[in-house]
């Protein structure tokens, strides 16, 4: 298997340069993502103001829409603004996989096991 | 004594040996590791918030009813101020990514200009947060608990029975003078003539009055109800000596549960502290860029590293916005 971690030139940073033409392409992508993030934020705020809370299914659906839109926004920030999408696949996995696993586990344990101790928790606040 | 520690590691496989794991520099990778651990802290905080909220037996305050004031404007604008703060932070994230892009072209002027814009954006966000905190702490009129059960007609005509110990919310003109009156200020007088209730403030610049026009029930939770005129006076007359104005670490007008304002202070405060340190770090890197440090190094990777931190601050706010304000 070909090694992908070998760098002939000893400075990674020196290899990260790009030309003016590439720069123009990157900038146009940045502005597109900006427009999308702004649009999603406006949609979220509009939904938050417009929809009234209720106990039925509609509010649950709205909540999950909020979470979905937030994850889309987070994805664009991490992959484009933080350039994780341009890094090597193995780095991407080393960063994302442990985090997603830990957070899913934390949420699972809070929901699944936490409420048995809720009385104890309520005495602390 | 097994394991790697006893073996001599050939210099080749180290960063100093001309090889970078994942083909990123040491500093950038450590920044990513730091961000993962910091993201776990915020993830833990937001999970704890959801946990406290799901386990609460009392109604939980609703974001669009708690955060609906704008500086210097009368009236209600649900979530507008927070939306503005979110937009400011997204834009400052954009100026940061533009600075990083300019750095990749070794464009010193571009880096300096975009980085300066990022610092300004960060300062505007911090200023906005200072106002939001001050407004949250000061409150918007305060509340009192009822002493006895009272039945009133709401503004829409429905009859509401208010049990003893229910919080009743004042508007901010009336509430501000009520707060001064309760503190025993000699400048504020209370006048009650049946259904007509007002405070008079005799200040250095003449006197002004605040009338009891409207009181609210459930101001920050579901079923917000307005009570006006003579019906409001009935609620006022049923008041106890238990008043609350704004929020601090012991008391809160927003919720029966102190946990709500505690989480507000901790989550937005911890995030605000990240923004503050981000602004300081950006400023240091801006000064380095102006002094030509990165030109001499022939690369702008430092801008990229502080950029990662700055985007992370934006990323956290996206989640705080959803889970604290929207849901």
Give me the tens of pLDDT residue by residue for chain B, a chain 327 residues long: 344 445 555 555 556 555 667 778 778 889 999 999 999 999 999 999 998 888 888 889 999 899 999 998 888 899 999 999 999 999 999 999 999 999 999 999 999 999 999 999 999 999 999 999 999 999 989 999 999 999 999 998 899 999 999 999 999 999 999 999 999 888 898 988 888 899 998 877 778 889 998 999 999 998 899 999 889 999 999 999 999 999 999 889 998 889 999 999 999 999 999 999 999 999 999 999 999 999 888 888 899 999 999 999 999 999 999 999 998
> Given this model, what pLDDT does residue A5 score?
42
Measuring CA to CA, how many Å separate A106 from each of A68, B45, B51, B270? 19, 11, 11, 20
Closest Cα partner for B99 from B294, B277, B272? B294
> Given this model, what pLDDT does residue B195 score?
83
- Distance in angstroms (rounded) separating the CA atoms of residues A45 and A18: 38
- Distance in angstroms (rounded) separating the CA atoms of residues B258 and B147: 21
CB contact under 8 A, A66 and B322: yes
Nearest to A7 among B20, B258, B308 (CB): B20
The pLDDT tens digits for B265-324 are 999 999 999 999 999 999 999 999 999 999 888 888 899 999 999 999 999 999 999 999
Q: Does any CB of chain A come closer than 8 Å to the CB of residue B97?
A: yes
Q: Does any CB of chain A come closer than 8 Å to the CB of residue B64?
A: yes
* Residue B166: φ, ψ to 5°: -90, 135
The total of other beta-carbon atoms located within 10 Å of residue B106's CB is 14
CB contact under 8 A, B322 and A70: yes
CB contact under 8 A, A12 and B326: no
* Residue A62: φ, ψ to 5°: -65, -40
- Distance in angstroms (rounded) separating the CA atoms of residues B198 and B139: 20
CB contact under 8 A, A118 and B222: no
Nearest to B314 among A27, A38, A77 (CB): A77
Q: Does any CB of chain A come closer than 8 Å to the CB of residue B44?
A: yes
Q: How far is B6 from chain A, CA to nearest CA, in Å?
A: 25
* Residue B162: φ, ψ to 5°: -105, 115
> Given this model, what pLDDT does residue A14 score?
55
B133 forms beta bridges with: none
- This prediction has a pTM of 0.88
> Given this model, what pLDDT does residue B208 score?
84
Output the six-digit token pair for B87. 């937009």
Mean pLDDT of A52-75: 88
> Own/partner pairs for A114-119, CB < 8 Å, 24+ apart?
A114/B51, A114/B55, A115/B54, A115/B55, A118/B55
Cα B103 to its chain centre, rounded Å, is 33
> Given this model, what pLDDT does residue A56 score?
72
The total of other beta-carbon atoms located within 10 Å of residue B326's CB is 22
Is residue B221 within a helix (H) or strand (E), and if so which, with residue range? none
B77: nearest CA in chain A?
A49
Q: How far is A71 from chain B, CA to nearest CA, in Å?
A: 8
Closest Cα partner for B71 from B14, B132, B112? B132
Region of B71 on the Ramachandran plot (φ > 0 left; ψ -120 to 50 alpha; else beta): beta
Burial profile A65-84: b = 16 or more Cβ within 10 angstroms, e = fewer: ebeebbeebbebbbbbbbbb
Which one of B14, B17, B18, B23 would you mutate to disrupt binding with A, by most A Cβ within 10 Å of its Cβ? B23
Coil, helix or strand for B18?
coil
Interface of B with A in 279-298 (CB under 8 A): 298
> Given this model, what pLDDT does residue A10 score?
45
* Length of chain B, in residues: 327
CB contact under 8 A, A53 and B62: yes
Residue with tokens 């030309």: A19
Which one of A6, A8, A16, A118 would you mutate to disrupt binding with B, by most B Cβ within 10 Å of its Cβ? A16
The pLDDT tens digits for A86-120 are 888 889 999 999 999 999 999 998 888 777 666 66
Output the six-digit token pair for B257. 């549960």
Output the six-digit token pair for B153. 């007609």
* Burial class for B140, CB neighbours closer than 10 Å (0-12, 13-18, 19+): buried
Closest Cα partner for A76 from A43, A37, A38? A37
> Given this model, what pLDDT does residue A113 score?
75
A113: nearest CA in chain B?
B51
Judge whether B65 and B219 are in contact, CB under 8 Å.
Answer: yes
DSSP B325: I
Q: How far is A38 from chain B, CA to nearest CA, in Å?
A: 7
CB contact under 8 A, A49 and B304: no
């Amino acid at each position: 298997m070909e090694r992908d971690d070998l760098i002939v030139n000893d400075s990674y940073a020196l290899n990260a340069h790009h030309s003016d033409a590439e720069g123009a392409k990157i900038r146009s992508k940045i502005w597109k993502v900006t427009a999308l993030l702004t649009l999603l934020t406006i949609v979220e705020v509009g939904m938050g103001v417009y929809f009234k809370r209720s106990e039925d299914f509609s509010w649950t659906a709205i909540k999950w829409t909020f979470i979905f839109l937030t994850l889309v926004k987070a994805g664009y920030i991490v992959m484009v603004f933080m350039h994780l999408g341009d890094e090597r696949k193995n780095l991407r996995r080393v960063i994302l996989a442990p985090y997603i696993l830990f957070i899913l586990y934390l949420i699972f344990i809070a929901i699944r096991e936490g409420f048995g101790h809720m009385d104890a928790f309520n005495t602390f606040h | 004594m097994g394991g790697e520690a006893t073996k001599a590691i050939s210099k080749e496989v180290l960063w100093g040996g001309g090889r970078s794991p994942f083909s990123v520099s040491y500093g950038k990778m450590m920044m990513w590791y730091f961000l993962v651990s910091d993201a776990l802290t915020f993830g833990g905080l937001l999970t704890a918030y959801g946990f406290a909220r799901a386990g609460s037996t009392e109604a939980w305050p609703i974001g669009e009813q708690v955060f609906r004031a704008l500086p210097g404007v009368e009236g209600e604008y649900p979530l507008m101020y927070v939306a503005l703060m979110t937009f400011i932070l997204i834009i400052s994230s954009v100026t940061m990514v533009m600075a990083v892009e300019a750095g990749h072209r070794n464009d010193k002027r571009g880096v300096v200009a975009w980085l300066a814009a990022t610092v300004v954006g960060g300062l505007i966000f911090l200023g906005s947060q200072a106002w939001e905190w001050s407004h949250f702490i000061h409150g918007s009129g305060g509340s009192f608990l009822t002493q006895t059960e009272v039945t009133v007609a709401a503004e829409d005509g429905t009859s509401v029975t208010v049990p003893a110990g229910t919080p009743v919310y004042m508007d901010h003109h009336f509430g501000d003078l009520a707060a001064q009156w309760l503190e025993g200020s000699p400048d504020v007088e209370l006048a009650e003539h049946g259904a007509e209730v007002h405070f008079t403030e005799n200040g250095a610049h003449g006197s002004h009055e605040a009338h009891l026009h409207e009181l609210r029930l459930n101001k920050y939770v579901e079923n917000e109800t307005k009570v006006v005129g003579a019906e409001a006076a009935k609620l006022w007359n049923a008041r106890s000596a238990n008043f609350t104005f704004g929020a601090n670490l012991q008391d809160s007008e927003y919720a029966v549960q102190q946990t709500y304002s505690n989480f507000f202070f901790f989550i937005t405060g911890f995030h605000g502290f990240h923004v503050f340190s981000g602004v300081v770090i950006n400023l240091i890197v801006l000064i380095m860029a102006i002094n030509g440090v990165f030109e001499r190094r022939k690369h702008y990777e430092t801008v990229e590293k502080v950029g990662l931190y700055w985007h992370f601050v934006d990323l956290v706010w996206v989640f705080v916005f959803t889970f604290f304000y929207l849901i």
